[in-house]
Amino acid sequence: MTTRSIKKSNQHFQKAIHQLPLGVTSNFRYWGDEETIYIDHASGCRIQDIDGNEYIDYRLAYGPYILGYADPRVDQAAREGIDIGGVFALSTELEYEVAQKISSMVPSAELVRFSNSGTEAVMAALRVGRAYSKRDGYIMIEGGYHGVSDSVLWDVDLDEWDPKQGDPQVQPTSHGVPSSIGEMVTLVPMNDANRLEDVLKKKHNEIGTLLIEPILGNCCSIAADPEYIKTVRSLCDRYNIVMVIDEVKTGFRVAKGGVQELYGIEADICTFAKSMANGYPIAAICGKEDFMRIIKYGGVLHGGTFTAHSVAISAAKKTLEIIKSTDALATVNQYGLNLRDGLSRILTDHNIPHSFTGHPSMSGLFFSEKPPTNARDFKSSNYPFYEKLAEELLEFGVLCEFDPREPWFICEAHAKDALDPTLDAFSAALENTLKGESVE
């Protein structure tokens, strides 16, 4: 039950629902008729709703704010981008500069094309994969999320799954997705190299692309085992599969060279979006020259009216400069470690078994001694307790996603002054949660 006042948000919802489906602009922004809040403004790591409630934000718009909201350095660059004039159905010199910057940070990103969103970048990556391999089938990892295009809105149905009856069923995650697309999709569990090899042995004539987030940024940051990801790379090489690493969440966050640097691997194609412009809408599809050169007349079509808008590309240039030349990511990483330590101390004091997954800049929190290693394990963890705790945290001014599959995102601004208030709020929220429920 809400103890803080969200009267204005409730009133606004009653208006908005008549104009916008669910009263919002993304299904994920709807928290319920009585619970949905509307934002007035945000700065640093704090976000304020229209009722004046302030929250230390660990959702960070699902990840793009690597430096913090309204970062003055990036916003100044964006203002300079306005003066350039927008989009022209022509290119600017800035695109080359930003592409060069990306290539200097991510070795596999030999060539770069810009898109507007992660969804669009992944769509392009899959198209390149199909065109290059000349095979339409593709593999995705259970629990992965790659945006809202028809090709990737597929996952296993873990709600109805009974492990005794074999593998969970694959299904579209939205109505309206053509069922025919399902014939091209094969889902495999994370960290099971044998399963992947079996699939490739049987279906390598149909499958041409493998799409993977080595840290499942939309499934509690469950992380690939380093050995597993290296085996995935070598299986892709052996069976001529285009390996697409989706770095929309991990890129320019978990390391300057993204998850590829962290694991010491190189993708054939990789996609970036969120952190690359600290919240301004831009994405990139990048890759090895051989693969990227098939984007051409008479080859793969890629484009879009708004691609490389001068505001977004200027913001990307500045953000990447900061990430490359300062210790911003080290600060983010250290804060993430400090936060894990602090939360761990509080949970240990209460004898609550727990563990963390992923990377400190985007941690998943679990109420079990060992974190899950794939989406199926997640199903058996005590996530209802997490959901209750997240609701309590909101009352104490800390915003993390209620759905435990979303990690806790850290930005550079958290390191200024957010740790102690977060830990105080966590202690208080935990006490309240425990009054209502057992963690066993």
Binding region for ligand PLP (CB under 6 A): 62, 117-119, 122, 145-147, 213, 217-218, 246, 248-249, 273
In the bound complex, what is the minimum distance in angstroms from residue 217's beta carbon to ligand PLP? Answer: 5
| Rg, the chain, Cα only | 22
- Give the whole-angstrom CA distance, residue 100 versus residue 40: 36
Q: Which residue is nearest to ligand PLP (CB)?
A: 118
Query: Residue 122 or 224: which CB sits closer to ligand PLP?
Result: 122
In the bound complex, what is the minimum distance in angstroms from residue 247's beta carbon to ligand PLP? Answer: 8
Query: Residue 71 or 406: which CB sits closer to ligand PLP?
Result: 406
Query: Residue 122 or 128: which CB sits closer to ligand PLP?
Result: 122
Query: Residue 217 or 360: which CB sits closer to ligand PLP?
Result: 217
In the bound complex, what is the minimum distance in angstroms from residue 437's beta carbon to ligand PLP? Answer: 30
Query: Residue 122 or 430: which CB sits closer to ligand PLP?
Result: 122
C-alpha torsion 118→119→123→126, nearest 10: 60
- Give the whole-angstrom CA distance, residue 256 versus residue 250: 10
In the bound complex, what is the minimum distance in angstroms from residue 189's beta carbon to ligand PLP? Answer: 17
Query: Residue 23 or 217: which CB sits closer to ligand PLP?
Result: 217
Q: Are 271 and 285 in contact (CB under 8 A)?
A: yes
Query: Residue 354 or 359: which CB sits closer to ligand PLP?
Result: 359
Query: Residue 87 or 212: which CB sits closer to ligand PLP?
Result: 212
In the bound complex, what is the minimum distance in angstroms from residue 283's beta carbon to ligand PLP? Answer: 6
In the bound complex, what is the minimum distance in angstroms from residue 63's beta carbon to ligand PLP? Answer: 7
In the bound complex, what is the minimum distance in angstroms from residue 362's beta carbon to ligand PLP? Answer: 10
In the bound complex, what is the minimum distance in angstroms from residue 284's beta carbon to ligand PLP? Answer: 12
Q: Are 130 and 319 in contact (CB under 8 A)?
A: no
Query: Residue 149 or 231: which CB sits closer to ligand PLP?
Result: 149
Q: Are 217 and 223 in contact (CB under 8 A)?
A: no
In the bound complex, what is the minimum distance in angstroms from residue 148's beta carbon to ligand PLP? Answer: 6
Query: Residue 64 or 168: which CB sits closer to ligand PLP?
Result: 64
How many CA atoms does the CB half-sphere of 400 hold within 13 Å? 25
Give a three-class secondary structure readout of the chain. CCCCCCHHHHHHHHHHCCCCHHHCCCHHHCCCCCCCCCEEEEEECEEEECCCCEEEECCHHHCCCCCCECCHHHHHHHHHHHHHCCCCCCCCHHHHHHHHHHHHHCCCCCEEEEECCHHHHHHHHHHHHHHHHCCCEEEEECCCCCCCCHHHCEEECCCCCCHHHCCCCEEECCCCCCHHHHHHEEEECCCCHHHHHHHHHHHCCCEEEEEECCEECCCCCEECCHHHHHHHHHHHHHCCCEEEEECCCCCCCCCCCHHHHHHCCCCCEEEECHHHHCCCCCEEEEECHHHHCCECCCCECCCCCCCCCHHHHHHHHHHHHHHHHCCHHHHHHHHHHHHHHHHHHHHHHCCCCCEEEEECCEEEEECCCCCCCCHHHHHCCCHHHHHHHHHHHHHCCEECCCCCCCCEECCCCHHHHCHHHHHHHHHHHHHHHHHHCCCC
In the bound complex, what is the minimum distance in angstroms from residue 231's beta carbon to ligand PLP? Answer: 21
In the bound complex, what is the minimum distance in angstroms from residue 16's beta carbon to ligand PLP? Answer: 21
* Residue position matching structure tokens 């499934």: 219
Query: Residue 129 or 147: which CB sits closer to ligand PLP?
Result: 147
- Give the whole-angstrom CA distance, residue 175 versus residue 83: 42
